Amino acid sequence: MKIKQLYLRNYGRFEDLKIDFAPTKEKNGNVTVIVGNNGAGKSQILKALATILSWFVSKLINGSDGSVIEKGLIKNGKNDVEVTVMIDFGKDNPRPYGPLEDACWTISNVKDGRINSFSNHTKELRKTVNNFRQKLTDNVDYSLPIMMYYSIDRTLIIESNADVLSRDFEQLEGYHSSLDGGVLDFSDFIKWFRNAEDIENESKVSMKGTIKELKADSHRALNEMYDFLNYVKSSGNLELEDRTLDKIHESRKNIESQLSKFQAIEEKINLISRDLSLTLVRIALENFTGFNNFHIRRQGIPTMIVEKDGEELDVNQLSQGEKSLLALVGDIARRLAILNPSLNNPLEGEGVVMIDEVDLHLHPKWQHNLIDKLVKTFPNVQFILTTHSPHIISDTPDILVYALDNGELEELPNIYGQDVNTVLTKVFDVDIRDSEVEVKLNNIRRAISHKDYLSAEKGIEELSEKMPADDVELLKCRLMLAQAKVNDKKDNELEHADD
């Protein structure tokens, strides 16, 4: 499943906006990033997507309509609003839809007391949902696409209490509050994690019991063979002993060999019995955070424990940025595991995840390569992101980047590998240093070029009192001044030599 296009009319700041999402003909990746100043409309685009996708989720679950477009989002001076989405559901497209091969539906709304010039068109949506419902009826574990929206207003709830009864998580629970955007409840992840651990532990106990039974059976068979051999020997019937001796020895060796394998089986019991989904989720969390040994501590009030730099910590002891990233990745992984119970690797499930200000609360070190980690961990998920971080858009190739300004959308050229300062100035239109300091540095450079060395020295001295001594640009000015003086001295010496 991939969202191909969104069309907004009279929505928020947009009178008429059409936006394509990666992958496109030019961009093979699954990531679209929108940048722009506060108030440019980035969040409105994600909100519109979440609203129209809620119609798929609601109709799939119980046949009801999805969220209504808020009337407060109708553009100033307009009476009505319309949102249209085009989605490629791949093999789940119940073709033909008509002239289009992809699902396309429209929702609208109108101000009170006005006539709506738009209308809802959901025929193709109903066909798509009926197709999924039929497949779920025929196959209870049929894979479903994730549809997730994390808004800028998301609040993080982490309650370490995981004291819940073990139970099966229903597949459609993967859509619970998925498009609300308001709360990132890590408690749900902890409950799912504990449930998966309980299942894992039950599997271990069951396998240990099975091995114990196999051991007992093998020992019993071995003892019976020894008893039979002793009986033959004591009978004095040499002919009988000759006929059976080799067979008995061979059987004994086979059984002893079988018994020796049990030790190796027991050593690998964790790998054999471990729930695959839980294992993959643990790996995803470790790759993102650098923490390891994720587990539920059950003494007292059950809580999630992580190991950071060799120290065991309750998740509530982590920083806000660490908790935010842990909750975000854990939530995506949990929902994919629930929605794709039949996949060998549920993290390879499809769908779309929208994250407003994906860099929220993250240290620049964790912003670095964030998209690359998302793509590698969830390779078939389409990501639609907004950000204010130059690290996010310059660290990964083959992403589709849009700049949004005053309701106008512009696709940006490739900026992969650009340094942060270049991205700040070219993309975010931000000065890389204080404007007053930049003016003074320019004055120093100008004075040097005009050979006004006294003014340059004075300017350097004034800045040196306020700025760090190892500032790169200040050091460059010192070097330029020294080099200029050396060149002047050489020129004067040559002139005197000529005289």
Other beta carbons less than 10 A from residue 154's beta carbon: 21
The pLDDT score that the predictor gives to residue 249 is: 64
Asked if residue 132 and residue 188 are part of one domain, the reply reads: no
Domain boundary among 303, 318, 345: 345
Q: Let me know: does 51 contact 57? Beta carbons within 8 Å.
A: no
How distant is the alpha carbon of residue 208 from its chain centre?
36
In a domain, 166, yes or no: no
Structure tokens at 196: 């998966």
Structure tokens at 230: 């002793």
Cα separation, 115 vs 327, whole angstroms:
44
Beta carbons of 194 and 337 less than 8 angstroms apart: no
Indicate if the pLDDT at residue 205 is higher than 60. Answer: no
In a domain, residue 163? The reply is no
| Residue 21: pLDDT over 50 | yes
Same domain, 7 and 116: yes
- Are 287 and 418 in the same domain? no
Among 311, 345, 379, the domain-final residue is 345
The verdict on residue 171 lying in a domain is: no
Which residue range forms the structural domain that includes residue 139? Answer: 2-145+350-426
What is the domain count for the chain? 3
Average pLDDT, the chain: 80
- Does residue 98 form part of some domain? yes
- Both tokens of 406, joined, read 């005053």
* Same domain, yes or no: 6 and 89: yes
Q: What pLDDT score was predicted for residue 70?
A: 95
Tally the residues of the chain: 499
Rg (CA), the chain: 33
Counting residues of the chain whose pLDDT is more than 90, the rounded percentage is 30
pLDDT digits (tens, 9 = 90+) for 44-74: 999 999 999 999 999 999 999 999 999 999 9
Q: Give the separation between CA 72 and CA 176, rounded to whole angstroms.
A: 25
Q: Do both 237 and 288 map to the same domain?
A: yes
* Phi and psi at residue 391, to the nearest 5°: -65, -40
Rounded distance, CA 338 to CA 178, Å?
Answer: 13
CA-wise closest residue to 183 among 155, 204, 206: 155
User: Between 444 and 488, whose confidence is greater?
Assistant: 444
Which residues lie below 8 Å from residue 130, measured CB to CB, with a gap of 6+?
Answer: 94
**Do 203 and 327 fall into the same domain?**
yes
Q: What is the mean pLDDT of residues 191-213?
A: 63
Q: Is the pLDDT of residue 214 over 90?
A: no
Q: Which pLDDT belongs to residue 301?
A: 72
pLDDT > 60? residue 424: no
Q: Which residues of 47-81 are buried (b: 16+ CB within 10 A; e: fewer)?
A: bbbbbbbbbbbbbbeeeeebbebeeebbbeeeebb
pLDDT confidence of 213, banded at 50, 70, 90?
low
Average pLDDT of the segment spanning 208-224: 62
Q: Both 401 and 418 in a single domain? A: yes
In a domain, 68, yes or no: yes
Most confident of the ranges 61-70, 213-222, 235-244, 245-254: 61-70
Residues 104 and 248 in one domain: no
Select the more confidently predicted residue: 297 or 494.
297
Q: In which residue are the tokens 């860099």 written?
A: 359
User: The tokens of 442 are what?
Assistant: 């320019």
- Whether residue 80 lies inside any domain: the answer is yes
Is 301 contained in some domain? yes
Q: Same domain, yes or no, for 197 and 335?
A: yes
Q: Do 253 and 354 fall within a single domain?
A: no
pLDDT level of residue 229 (50, 70, 90 thresholds): low
Q: Which residues pair with 351 in a beta bridge?
A: 146, 381
pLDDT at 206 > cutoff 80: no
pLDDT of residue 305: 87
Integer CA distances (angstroms), 296 to 157, 158, 163, 274, 302, in order = 17, 14, 10, 15, 6
Measured CA to CA, the distance from residue 47 to residue 44 in angstroms comes to 5
Structure-model confidence comparison of residues 157 and 449, the more confident one = 449
63 and 116 belong to one structural domain? yes
**pLDDT of 273:** 41
Classify residue 178: in a domain, yes or no.
no
Inform me whether the pLDDT recorded for 416 exceeds 60.
Answer: yes
Query: Looking at 128-132, 250-254, 333-337, which range is the least confident one?
Result: 250-254
> Is the Cβ–Cβ distance between 338 and 174 less than 8 Å?
yes
The CA-based diameter of the chain, rounded to the nearest angstrom, is 131
Q: Which two tokens stand for residue 112?
A: 């009170």
pLDDT at residue 286 in the model: 87
Return the higher-pLDDT residue of 50 and 344: 50
Residue with tokens 């789940």: 92
CATH of the domain at 86: 3.40.50.300
Contacts of 70 (CB under 8 A, 6+ apart): 109
Among 407, 426, 445, residue at a domain's last position: 426
How far is residue 363's CA from residue 269's CA, in Å, rounded to a whole number?
39
Q: Which residue has the tokens 């790998």?
A: 271
Mean pLDDT over 274-280 rounds to 69
pLDDT in tens, 316-337: 888 888 888 888 888 899 899 8
Domain co-membership, 198 together with 272 = yes
Q: Is 21 helix (H, G, I), strand (E, B) or coil?
A: coil
Higher pLDDT, 190 or 269: 190
Q: Taking CA 232 as the corner, what is the angle to CA 229 and CA 238, rounded to the nearest 5 degrees?
A: 125
